[in-house]
Amino acid sequence: MCGIVGYSGQKNSLMILLDGLRRLEYRGYDSSGIAIKDNDKIYNRKAVGEIKELEAKIGDKQIEGNVGIAHTRWATHGTPTEANAHPHCDCQGKIWLVHNGIIENHQKLKKQLQKEGHKFSSETDTEVVAHLIEKYYQGDLAQALKKSLHDIEGAYSFVAFHKDEPSRLVAVKKGSPLVLGLAEDGVIVASDVTAIIKQTRDVIYLEDEEIVDINGSNFDIFNLANEYKKKKAMYVDWSIEQLEKNGYPHFMLKEICGQPETVTDSLRGRLVAEEGNVKLGGLDNIAKELNDMKDLISVACGTAYYACLVGEYMLEEYADLSTKSIVGSEFRYRKYCFNKNSVILGVSQSGETADTLTAIKEANKKYITTLGIVNVVSSSVARATTAGIYNHIGPEIAVASTKAFTSQLVTLSLLTVYLGRIRNMSFPMGQRIVQELEKLQEKISKVLENEEKIAGIAKKYYQVPNFAFLGRKYNYPIALEGALKLKEISYIHAEGFAGGEIKHGSLALIDKNFPSIFLVPEDSVYEKNLGNIQEIKARGGNVIAITTEGNKEVAGIVDEVIYIPKTLEMLTPILSVIPLQLFAYHMAVIKGKDVDKPRNLAKSVTVE
Ligand code: G6P
């Protein structure tokens, strides 16, 4: 993995492929490569590092060729080297392919192919497939690829071409995303719609085990049983501006500062204040299942998982619903006591995270109703779930998730009102939540006014190697998310704790060199939090506090204070996380880190 672009059409493919790769940069990668059919030759270049290194290798060379493939790689098998970068080819340099995913039985296949005389030039699992296709090739690339799939175990999306089949590109997917873009001049195939929308907005999402056979502007889609599939294109309404920085130095800052608007986008058309309720059209088809639901199990990874933890507090307190959250990678391997009235909720910005998707598929096998909270329309999680709620916040580009997180919290609060109102939630309670949701845009804007102050705090603390993040109840998951943000982009060690838990061991870490960031809004656990702050101060620890506007008490005890406006307790996380996002951002900027593309990480992890 990580990013795939392929093109076959009337235009010169080089610029289309490079533009696609640049648009996929946000996903994180460590090397890249390109292969283009240039008359009867193959033009191939690879580079370690950023796309500009690849561009430097290509230089001013005029490359003809209307068919090509390109890839950004995020190392899984083999270090980031030119040899390991995609595209990979067979022994004769005729079959070229790019791949996302993992071939689980690659070692066994490689040994077998080596015995049969194939010579390998990389350490990757991907190269095995180029040689497998070579083994089965009898003049028809699609048929050879199909035969190879019988031998392969794992998750994949491939795009391949053969030197002797002039304008043909063949692609297939299973467990890793692939989208076709239908432009006037040709067909572009990519792992992510962001790589396509400059060329066209008409796209087709491929399903698992569908093969697309592209010839210039024509294409056919088949399944493994050779049955022809007729698929309708859908229109993507993301704008190019949404994909650009619009004057911000980094996508992450643009996305943090855009939260007043994105939160509003997630609420648009969904609040019905006069009924103390919300409208969620995406849930209509499972109204009965939601009525009968006895418990909800949320599944997600990373930041989305922390959103689910906040959701647990919301749904239990206001919707009287037993809820638990499980990280996607654990779901399959634990035994859970589901019943026929359980519902599984997958939360995922990209809708492509393999661990989350696998959990949803596992639930589908058990005939459990599945729901999704997803940003990317028609992504794999959206398609695999029975019903769902879209975030509607446009593309999130920075690897560290920010606007998707606040939108997930907003969406979970909408779900809380929806489920609460079909259970015990009163009309006035529903109305209060709805009215508070309406005020979020203005309140988030107020929190963002603290940016300069937060940048100043980051300047004071940027050399500190460890941080503790603490909070209770609704703000406990926010402590976990604050620590994750700092780790992800500034590479500073940070741990999140439940405020009351630190005294059971981790307090031993605290001294004057180990500061804490404490979430202490005026809520139902405020007094208890004050007690924990005193414990830290008594051990010489510095404390940066996030508290409610107008509060004087906290300021009297701690070293730095950041204020957030008052809101309902269940909605405080939507405000309190923003100073932590800004803090992580400014720490990373001062330390000179690559904010949008942190080392070792990928935006959407499509392998388990
Ligand atoms: C990756 C990203 C995280 C993200 C997680 C879940 O690990 O680096 O920022 O929170 O995936 O992503 P999803 O798209 O499923 O929300």
Please give, one letter per residue, the 3-state secondary structure of 497-534.
Answer: EECCCHHHCHHHHCCCCCCEEEECCCCCCHHHHHHHHH
Residue 601, pLDDT score:
85
d(C-alpha 8, C-alpha 215), whole Å: 7
How far, in Å, from the CA of 436 to the mean position of ligand 1?
28
d(C-alpha 252, C-alpha 34), whole Å: 28
Atom number of ligand 1 nearest to Cα 350:
14
Q: E-strand spans in 444-492?
A: 466-471
476 with 295: CB under 8 angstroms?
no
Which option is the CATH number for 245-438: 3.30.1540.10, 3.30.540.10, 3.40.50.10490, 1.10.10.10?
3.40.50.10490
603 catalytic residue (yes or no): yes
In angstroms, the Cα distances linking 516 to 204, 505, 543, 561, 588 are 48, 15, 5, 12, 18
Identify the three-state secondary structure at position 206: coil
127 with 120: CB under 8 angstroms?
yes
Architecture of domain 2-236: 4-Layer Sandwich (3.60)
d(C-alpha 544, C-alpha 460), whole Å: 11
Among 256, 298, 349, say which to mutate for ligand 1: greatest number of ligand atoms within 8 Å of CB: 349
d(C-alpha 83, C-alpha 88), whole Å: 9
Tens digit of each residue's pLDDT (9 = 90 or more) over 555-598: 999 999 999 999 999 999 999 999 999 999 999 999 999 999 89
CB of 375 sitting under 6 A from ligand 1: no
Q: Which residue, 344, 348, 266, 263, is CA-closest to 304?
A: 348
Q: Which residues contact 507 (CB under 8 A, 6 or more apart)?
A: 535, 536, 539
Q: Take residue 18 and report the two structure tokens written for it.
A: 């490079």
28/470: higher pLDDT: 470
511-528 mean pLDDT: 96
Q: How many CB atoms lie within 10 A of CB 222?
A: 17
Residue 306, pLDDT score:
98
The gap from C-alpha 36 to its chain's centroid, in whole angstroms, comes to 30
d(C-alpha 337, C-alpha 327), whole Å: 16
In angstroms, the Cα distances linking 189 to 17, 69, 71, 160 are 10, 9, 12, 11
204 with 193: CB under 8 angstroms?
no
Residue 176 has pLDDT above 90, yes or no: no
Q: Which residues contact 64 (CB under 8 A, 6 or more apart)?
A: 12, 38, 39
**What letters, b where the CB count within 10 A reaches 16 and e where it falls short, cover 538-548?**
eeebbbbbbbb
N residues, the chain? 608
Tens digit of each residue's pLDDT (9 = 90 or more) over 109-139: 999 999 999 999 999 999 999 999 999 999 9
Residue 289 has pLDDT above 90, yes or no: yes
Ramachandran class of 276: left when φ > 0, alpha when ψ lies in -120 to 50, beta otherwise: left
Within 199-274, residue ranges assigned H as helices are 251-257, 259-267
Ramachandran class of 576: left when φ > 0, alpha when ψ lies in -120 to 50, beta otherwise: alpha
Among residues 37, 473, 487, 603, the one annotated as catalytic is 603
17-46 mean pLDDT: 90
Torsion of CA 480, 485, 487, 493, to 10 degrees: -50
72-78 mean pLDDT: 82
Residue with tokens 């107008």: 550
Residue 460 has pLDDT above 90, yes or no: yes
Closest residue by CA, ligand 1 atom 2: 603
Atom number of ligand 1 nearest to Cα 404:
16
- 144 band by pLDDT with thresholds 50, 70 and 90: very high
Q: Take residue 259 and report the two structure tokens written for it.
A: 């939260």
Parse the chain into domains and list their residue ranges.
2-236, 245-438, 442-596
Helix or strand holding residue 271 (H, E): strand 271-272
pTM confidence score: 0.81
d(C-alpha 410, C-alpha 426), whole Å: 20
471-479 mean pLDDT: 98
Residue 418, pLDDT score:
97
Helix orientation angle between 302-318 and 403-421, rounded to the nearest 10 degrees? 30
Closest residue by CA, ligand 1 atom 3: 302
Torsion angles phi and psi, residue 197, rounded to 5: -70, -15
Residue 27 has pLDDT above 80, yes or no: no
- Using the 8-state DSSP alphabet, how is residue 422 labeled? T
CB of 409 sitting under 6 A from ligand 1: no
Q: Are domains 245-438 and 442-596 of this chain identical in fold?
A: yes
How far, in Å, from the CA of 596 to the mean position of ligand 1?
13
By 3-state DSSP, what share of the chain in percent is helix, strand and coil, each rounded to 5? 40, 25, 35
How far, in Å, from the CA of 219 to the mean position of ligand 1?
33
d(C-alpha 582, C-alpha 604), whole Å: 22
Taking every pair of C-alpha atoms in the chain, what is the biggest distance, in angstroms?
79
201-213 mean pLDDT: 94
CB of 399 sitting under 6 A from ligand 1: yes
Residue 338 has pLDDT above 80, yes or no: no
Q: Which CATH superfamily is domain 442-596 in?
A: Glucose-6-phosphate isomerase like protein; domain 1 (3.40.50.10490)
376/89: higher pLDDT: 89
Residues above pLDDT 70, as percent of the chain: 100
How far, in Å, from the CA of 404 to the mean position of ligand 1?
10
Atom number of ligand 1 nearest to Cα 28:
8
Q: Which residue, 518, 302, 466, is CA-closest to 400?
A: 302
570 with 314: CB under 8 angstroms?
yes
| Angle ∠(215,150,177) on CA atoms, nearest 5 | 55
Helix or strand holding residue 179 (H, E): strand 179-182
Among 2, 255, 303, say which to mutate for ligand 1: greatest number of ligand atoms within 8 Å of CB: 303
CB of 304 sitting under 6 A from ligand 1: yes
The gap from C-alpha 287 to its chain's centroid, in whole angstroms, comes to 28
Residue with tokens 């932590």: 580
Of 184-193, 326-335, 398-407, 484-493, least confident by mean pLDDT is: 326-335
- 1 band by pLDDT with thresholds 50, 70 and 90: low
Residue 240, pLDDT score:
74
Among 605, 606, 607, say which to mutate for ligand 1: greatest number of ligand atoms within 8 Å of CB: 605
Tens digit of each residue's pLDDT (9 = 90 or more) over 302-314: 999 999 999 999 9
Residues above pLDDT 90, as percent of the chain: 82
